[in-house]
Amino acid sequence: MKVPVINIKGKTTGREVELSNKVFGIEPNDHAVYLDVKQFLANQRQGNAKTKERAEIKGSTRKIKKQKGTGTARAGSIKNPLFRGGGTVFGPRTRDYGIKLNKNVKKLARKSALSMKLKSKSIYVIESLDFKTPKTKSFVDILSAVGLDAKKTLFVLDGLNKNVYLSARNLNKSEVVSDSEISTYKIINAQHLVIEEKAIEKIENNLV
């Protein structure tokens, strides 16, 4: 499928770029997208919640009261979960929430996400994006020119460009990544995708 190439002023250059059907034109696999997003979010979790169980609490093991005849629940020691300051029953333990996913499933998920964006006409191809110095106003001007100033937008660059990254860092609804950093979650999370022309070939090579 052909997509027109625009410049930083939001106007078409008269050129078109051919997007590979193997990457941008497949039938989206919803389950693969779900699994990849699930893995991304699971990997963000710290997994360091921990409570002390009765064996880990510092305190006396003296029997508090006689076993029978009190009318209340039996209690072996002050560490009993019934008491304030006692151990927690089945509390959280430190763990790794990360899940394993095959490379081919992750590739399929990214291709599915890109195909969804192209179907909904949410992909823009921009000629080149480069700033001499980091300036947020310059980046805001580009967003306004393209008509994306109030929308969640993901910019995909050809390699790392520090000036562009710093210019967009302070904007709430915009994110800048390099062609090797795109993930299914970031594609799905953004309303629109703006891809630098030179980055398209690299994305296609990574996913084919």
Calpha distance 198→191 (Å, rounded):
22
Cα-Cα-Cα-Cα dihedral sign, residues 101, 105, 106, 107: positive
Summarised one tens digit per residue, pLDDT across range 100-138 is 999 999 999 999 999 999 999 999 999 888 888 999 999
In this prediction, residue 8 carries a pLDDT of 87
Domain positions in the chain are: 2-45+99-207, 53-96
Mean pLDDT of the chain, nearest integer: 92
Q: What is the pLDDT of residue 182?
A: 92
Predicted pLDDT of residue 117: 93
Q: What is the DSSP string of the chain?
A: -EEEEE-TTS-EEEEEEEPPHHHHSSPP-HHHHHHHHHHHHHHH---------TTTS-S-----S-SSSSSS---SSTTSTTSTT-PPTT------------HHHHHHHHHHHHHHHHHTT-EEEES----SS--HHHHHHHHHHHT-TTS-EEEEESS--HHHHHHHTT-TTEEEEETTT--HHHHHH-SEEEEEHHHHHHHHHHH-
CA angle 124, 22, 194 (to 5 degrees): 15
- pLDDT at residue 93 in the model: 94
Counting as low any pLDDT under 70, the low residues of the chain are none
Query: What pLDDT sits at residue 46?
Result: 93
* 108 residue type, one letter: L
Q: Which CATH number fits domain 2-45+99-207: 3.30.1600.10, 3.40.1370.10, 3.30.300.30, 3.30.70.330?
A: 3.40.1370.10
Beta bridge mates, 3: 17
Q: Are 188 and 33 within 8 A, CB to CB?
A: yes
pLDDT at 11: 87
The pLDDT of residue 130 is: 83
Per-residue pLDDT, 140:
92
pTM over 0.75: yes
